[in-house]
Structure 1
């Protein structure tokens, strides 16, 4: 099973609809037995985020300034694998099978799988391409990563090799 980490990067009130879309998309993973819990990670708390977290059964983590959002979320996650998402990310059809296959067959030394994010800005896509060559130093949205790797500290040392997954993320 995996934990879904959802980063709310823009002001909380503006991200409510996007967050709801992402949480709704994870329901299919819960029904399939793949997603065990969700953690919403934000810079600032808001009543709306607290209401959504409580209503969906997700944990809400308000990260201290200057800390890595994925590390803050990993500390609250309850599963061995983390699916890193941004509010508004919607996994496309077939994502459950792809992630289930990856976490079920990943070797102990392979700790990161990467979903395609065609909607990402060009600098983010370029950075992901470079990381496919030199290795991944820190997780980004669209990654499926072992919780232990994130909790061990960032940047990853040594850098992790990312396995490209057939699943992709769309933007709501």
Structure 2
């Protein structure tokens, strides 16, 4: 099982879109819990978190590390609100988690990119953790240095409403 960390920057509607996309993974037994990361306290986000049984954490700039501290599982799927994993992702992540060690602790889902600037950013981006990554808690805590990100055969897209 994994914990999903969701950084909120676009508000409760984008958060709801991402959380609803995770329901099949909960039913399949892949997702065990969720942590919602907000930059400031928000009553609406607190209501959404309570409704879905998630933990709301106030963290500077939606820090993944603060979310990892509240997570119940070692493997963490990092998402930004508005991210929607595409068909087949559950099987791919479940297999990776089952077969990987913490030192292989960073895997990256493919993202559909548009425009030359976005394509170059994806090609030359550093290996720091970003939305769409599956990361081991020990990597986020700098206890283990991750190798180069493993490219997963799973795709993540942004809900077009939230760009």
Q: TM-score range by the shorter chain?
A: 0.7 to 0.9
Distance 1:97 1:42 in 2: 29
- Tell me the distance in 2 between the aligned counterparts of 1:69 and 1:121: 28
Within the alignment, does 1:147 sit opposite 2:147 as a pair?
Answer: no
Normalized against structure 1, the TM-score is what?
0.84
1:161 aligns with 2:155: no
1:30-77: per-residue Cα shift (whole Å, max 9, x none)?
11010010000010111100000000000000014xx66111111111
Following the alignment from structure 2 to structure 1, what is the Cα–Cα distance between the partners of residues 94 and 8? 25
What's 2:104 paired with? Answer: 110
Instruction: Give the aligned partner of residue 24 of structure 1.
Output: 20
Shift of 1:164: 0.5
Cα distance between partner residues in 2 of 1:145 and 1:121: 27
Once superposed, what is the RMSD of the aligned Cα atoms? 2.1
Q: How does 1:1-172 map to 2 (within 5 A)?
A: 1-10=1-10, 15-64=11-60, 69-119=63-113, 123=117, 125-131=119-125, 136=127, 138-152=128-142, 158=145, 160-172=147-159
The TM-score normalised by the length of structure 2 is 0.88
Aligned pair count reads 159
Displacement, 1:140? 0.4
Q: Mind listing any 5+ residue stretches in structure 1 that lack a counterpart? A: none
Cα deviation for residue 16 of structure 1 reads: 1.1
Q: Is the 8 A contact 1:22 1:87 kept in 2?
A: yes
Q: CA deviation at 1:29?
A: 0.7
Q: CA deviation at 1:152?
A: 2.4
1:121–1:63 Cα change, 3 Å: farther
In structure 2, list runs of 5 or more residues that go unmatched: none
Structure 1, residues 69-113: CA drift from partner, whole Å, max 9, x if none? Answer: 111111111101000000011110101001011111124421111
In 1: Cα distance, 2:101 partner to 2:38 partner: 32
